[in-house]
Amino acid sequence: MALIVQKYGGTSVGSVERIEAVAARVRAVHDAGDQVVVVVSAMSGETNRLVELAHAISPEPEPREFDVLLATGEQVTIALLAMALNRLGCPARSYTGSQVHILTDDAHTKARILDIDEARVRHDLDAGHVVVVAGFQGVDEHGNITTLGRGGSDTTAVALAAALKADECQIFTDVDGVYTTDPRVEPHARRLSRITFEEMLEMASLGSKVLQIRAVEFAGKYNVPLRVLSSFEDGAGTLISYEEGDMEKPVISGIAFNRDEAQLSILGVPDKPGVAFHILGPVGAANIEIDMIIQNIGADGTTDFTFTVHRNDYDKARSILEKTAAELGAREVTGDAKIVKLSLVGVGMRSHAGIASKMFETLAREGINIRMISTSEIKISVVVDEKYLELGVRSLHSAFDLEQSETN
Amino acid sequence: MALIVQKYGGTSVGSVERIEAVAARVRAVHDAGDQVVVVVSAMSGETNRLVELAHAISPEPEPREFDVLLATGEQVTIALLAMALNRLGCPARSYTGSQVHILTDDAHTKARILDIDEARVRHDLDAGHVVVVAGFQGVDEHGNITTLGRGGSDTTAVALAAALKADECQIFTDVDGVYTTDPRVEPHARRLSRITFEEMLEMASLGSKVLQIRAVEFAGKYNVPLRVLSSFEDGAGTLISYEEGDMEKPVISGIAFNRDEAQLSILGVPDKPGVAFHILGPVGAANIEIDMIIQNIGADGTTDFTFTVHRNDYDKARSILEKTAAELGAREVTGDAKIVKLSLVGVGMRSHAGIASKMFETLAREGINIRMISTSEIKISVVVDEKYLELGVRSLHSAFDLEQSETN
């Protein structure tokens, strides 16, 4: 008998019919003899409806009251799903975040889970019930309702799985797993049957929006095996777990990309200690997030400094940089909002040499100019012209044999 | 500084604009230096929407899950009202029934309040906040969400007022108070500035649907002065409280009527001990509620037995009675579904003789035949033909000078 935590997002519970389909799927697991905890989001559209109500009343609603309002969304879903399960003869009980003591800090609208009292859930599981828990919500130490922010339901599911020491946490979405790259860009993209937490973090942070980074981090920290599956079709999905010694890992797991970046350079900066902070400090102070950072030592005591920001922040960041350039006596500021970042991701890289040179060779053969390079232990990222996105992804996908079936 | 509990029903908070109007009204009380606790219902239409969702999933949803679902309705309203108050510069905090520990029994969908922990509310009030509480809902001793059934928000307000020893519990509705009779029947009907709990109970149970009987009983039991007011227009409304010694009470407070009754008689029943139970037992066993009961001693050792039921139950009750009549050897069963009950209500009756005879005389003068009479300490009810409803109400209203302004 396994203990499975399943999480269904807003689209998966977006109508009465879909809730009934989820109930049928949950019942099948329960009938097979496993214990099931189900975490659900608000029905799709419901959160928007509530947000509109709030904004009709106040342009900046108090975060505490906003959370009281938003938390009703998941509460509706848990009740309906429990009804649907009971109607199928599968005994079920619903709980709000507060009822199962999902204790969070008091950072309303983006609270973090501190603790979960799993006793009540375990009691119901042992009594043969399916337990349905509202995702996205918790309660602070004073009993105030909190919400976890974007993707919070994934985090709820992982946290419950960790607290209950579940055998697996299954995240049901509208895709059937994690792919070697985006199938809309590379039709030969292949679903991965397994991927490691570290790889998933790199894939997620690079724009593969299957799972929220927070949930993956949480799962990694507590070693909760995470599986991404489709709510709408059957299949084994992708299992995210720690690397296992006896696993014949492919060198590269996938290719991530990010279309949302823009590049800024400040050239001919007199090179002295503190210059990096002098350049990046004002950008960070304006709440602009910086992604890649590269500094080259230039000729004659000057240096060139390049970084990337979200494309929406390009104009703001550029005008800050112009000011900094004048202060520092830099030669010029250049920038380009039409760039993309391509990344090879794979834990196999650690023990394989020559991955980077093969990547650069492949791109060179296609005439793709590399503008920036940045590496970590398990990924290599390059910035190229926007127009090369598809060509770059496809040629790398083929060069690293990602369309091949996996060995495991 | 007074402590006021205000309750606004679904129509009063039925839209963003109305919630804003309620907020303005609450703020005025707060600005005047009083402490305010506001109890709200779900926005009108919201409960129906939730009920429809539930019934789309299950014809008989589990009461426990039904309560989890329904409780979201008021939770939306408390959050929105707290936002609206804060936006007006009036500090406010919202609480669900569970958060202020409105402890109930576990009779889901019709739970009864057992206790309220008023400490949290009082703490916020003392800190200068308006406290907004979800009506209609509570929590059982195991932390399960419960709802109080029809009119539950009135009960929440009264229970909070009792727990907090509030100076007044104000129920805002779509009428501006309690009237001597229904103004749609008697255009000269007058708003009462005061009425006693006992009178209000008689008026309410006789069909004046301004307040739920449970709330009035609760208020009477804990001696919470209750005021009925309009959410839409200004005015002092009607204060419901205990009779005060120095009050020059009018003899009659009002005339209630009930169109929903039907009369059934079983005639020529051999009179022996146990006959009443033999007749009424099977009716009660069929879940038919019996209102008035009258038994006359007849001639030659037989008795006549008459009672009234809700008009919807007439056919069912009649067929039960036919069967009983055969068993008992009664002479015949008669009945009439086209009757109404008129009632004079007034605590002043206790010390005034001649009220009944004046009532009968008034009806006789108009040619209205009285079919049944039933009396209590503070009311006299008669059953008459349906067609005499308006004539009966108006002639009694005039005969007892109810259109006169009150002396207090």
Q: Is A21 on the interface with B (CB under 8 A)?
A: no
Strands A254-258, A261-270: pairing is unpaired
Residues in B 275-314 with any Cβ partner in A closer than 8 A: none
Contact across the interface for B76 and A72, Cβ inside 8 Å: yes
Residue B369 is classified by DSSP as P
Contact across the interface for B62 and A72, Cβ inside 8 Å: no
What six digits make up the tokens of A166? 């579940």
Residues in A 117-146 with any Cβ partner in B closer than 8 A: 143-145
- Chain B's closest residue to A142, CA to CA, is B99
CA distance B77 to chain A (A): 8
CA torsion sign for B350, B351, B352, B357 is positive
In a domain, A384, yes or no: no
Q: Give phi and psi for B68, each to the nearest 5.
A: -60, -40
Which is more confidently placed, B72 or A241?
A: B72
Residues 6+ apart with CB under 8 A from B112: B104, B105, B148
CA distance A44 to chain B (A): 14
Rounded CA separation B203/B347 (Å): 12
Of A16, A61, A62, the CB nearest to B56: A16
In a domain, A67, yes or no: yes
Give the pLDDT mean for B218-232.
Answer: 91
Rounded CA separation B274/B282 (Å): 13
| 3-state SS assignment for residue A191 | strand
Residues 6+ apart with CB under 8 A from B186: B180, B255, B390, B393, B394, B397
Q: Is B82 on the interface with A (CB under 8 A)?
A: yes
Give the pLDDT mean for B8-19.
Answer: 95
CA distance A45 to chain B (A): 15
Residue A386 is classified by DSSP as G
Burial class (CB in 10 A: 0-12, 13-18, 19+), A340: buried
Residue A179 is classified by DSSP as B
In a domain, A14, yes or no: yes
Residue in this structure with the two tokens 């499975």, named with its chain if needed: A4
Contact across the interface for B80 and A57, Cβ inside 8 Å: yes
Residue in this structure with the two tokens 């398990």, named with its chain if needed: A378
CA distance to A148, A273, B63, B65, B259, per residue, from A95 (Å): 17, 56, 14, 9, 44
Contact across the interface for B57 and A93, Cβ inside 8 Å: no
pLDDT for A208: 56
Say if the ipTM goes beyond 0.85: no
Question: Nearest CA to A301 among A333, A328, A264?
Answer: A328
| 3-state SS assignment for residue A125 | helix
CATH number of the domain enclosing A151: 3.40.1160.10
Instruction: Tally the domains of chain A.
Output: 1
CA distance A73 to chain B (A): 8
DSSP A39-83: EE-PPTTHHHHHHHHHHHH-SS--HHHHHHHHHHHHHHHHHHHHH
For testing the chain B interface, which of A62, A95, A121 should be mutated: the one with the most B CBs within 10 Å? A62
Cβ neighbour number for residue B184 with a 10 Å cutoff: 9
Q: Is A65 on the interface with B (CB under 8 A)?
A: yes
| 3-state SS assignment for residue A354 | coil
Give alpha helix (H) positions in B255-301.
275-285
First vs last C-alpha separation in chain B: 25
Is residue B115 pLDDT above 50, yes or no? yes
- In single-letter form, the type of residue at position A217 comes to E
Burial class (CB in 10 A: 0-12, 13-18, 19+), B262: buried
Cβ atoms A203, A136 nearer than 8 A: no
Contact across the interface for A96 and B57, Cβ inside 8 Å: no
In a domain, A23, yes or no: yes
Contact across the interface for B62 and A86, Cβ inside 8 Å: yes
Q: Which domain holds residue A134?
A: 3-173
pLDDT for A408: 39
Question: Nearest CA to B358 among B397, B328, B322?
Answer: B397
Of B66, B68, B144, the CB nearest to A75: B68
Cβ atoms B172, B93 nearer than 8 A: no
Give the pLDDT mean for B198-221.
Answer: 79
What six digits make up the tokens of B57? 């999933």
Rounded CA separation A156/A224 (Å): 13
List of chain A residues whose C-beta atoms are within 8 Å of the C-beta of residue B64: 93
| 3-state SS assignment for residue A342 | strand
Q: Is B21 on the interface with A (CB under 8 A)?
A: no
- Chain A's closest residue to B66, CA to CA, is A79
In a domain, B115, yes or no: yes
What six digits make up the tokens of A403? 């369309």
Cβ atoms A407, A370 nearer than 8 A: no
Q: How confident is the model at residue B124 (pLDDT cuts 50, 70, 90)?
A: very high
Rounded CA separation B132/B137 (Å): 13
Q: Give the orientation angle of helix A63-87 with respect to helix A46-57, to 10 degrees.
A: 150
What six digits make up the tokens of A341? 């970042």
List of chain B residues whose C-beta atoms are within 8 Å of the C-beta of residue A61: 83, 86
pLDDT for B151: 79
Residues 6+ apart with CB under 8 A from B66: A79, A83, B54, B108, B109, B147
In a domain, A56, yes or no: yes
Cβ atoms B179, B393 nearer than 8 A: no
Rounded CA separation A393/A342 (Å): 7
Is residue B244 pLDDT above 70, yes or no? no
- Chain B's closest residue to A50, CA to CA, is B76
Compute the residue count for chain B.
408
In a domain, A144, yes or no: yes
| 3-state SS assignment for residue A8 | strand
- In single-letter form, the type of residue at position B202 comes to E
A113-171 pLDDT tens trace: 999 989 999 999 999 999 999 999 999 999 999 999 877 999 999 999 999 999 999 99
Contact across the interface for A68 and B96, Cβ inside 8 Å: yes
- In single-letter form, the type of residue at position B88 comes to L
List of chain A residues whose C-beta atoms are within 8 Å of the C-beta of residue B84: 57-58
Burial class (CB in 10 A: 0-12, 13-18, 19+), B187: exposed
Rounded CA separation B65/B236 (Å): 40
CA distance to A78, A337, B18, B290, B323, per residue, from B273 (Å): 56, 98, 60, 20, 19
List of chain A residues whose C-beta atoms are within 8 Å of the C-beta of residue B145: 96, 99
Contact across the interface for A53 and B80, Cβ inside 8 Å: yes
What six digits make up the tokens of A288? 């602009």
| Average pLDDT value for chain B | 90
CA distance to A4, A313, A380, B273, per residue, from A260 (Å): 36, 10, 18, 91
Q: Is A72 on the interface with B (CB under 8 A)?
A: yes
Of B54, B84, B86, the CB nearest to A80: B54
Contact across the interface for A66 and B79, Cβ inside 8 Å: yes
In a domain, A155, yes or no: yes
pLDDT for A231: 87
CA distance B144 to chain A (A): 8
Instruction: Provide the number of CB pairs (under 8 Å) joining chain A to chain B.
Output: 109
* pLDDT beneath 50: ranges in chain A: 246, 407-408
Contact across the interface for A57 and B93, Cβ inside 8 Å: no
- Chain A's closest residue to B21, CA to CA, is A57
Cβ atoms B95, B38 nearer than 8 A: no
The alpha-carbon radius of gyration of chain B (Å, integer) is 24
Contact across the interface for A69 and B61, Cβ inside 8 Å: no
Of B68, B86, B87, the CB nearest to A79: B68
Cβ neighbour number for residue A377 with a 10 Å cutoff: 9
Contact across the interface for B65 and A16, Cβ inside 8 Å: no
pLDDT for A229: 92
Q: Give the orientation angle of helix B152-164 with respect to helix B119-126, to 10 degrees.
A: 70
CA distance A165 to chain B (A): 24
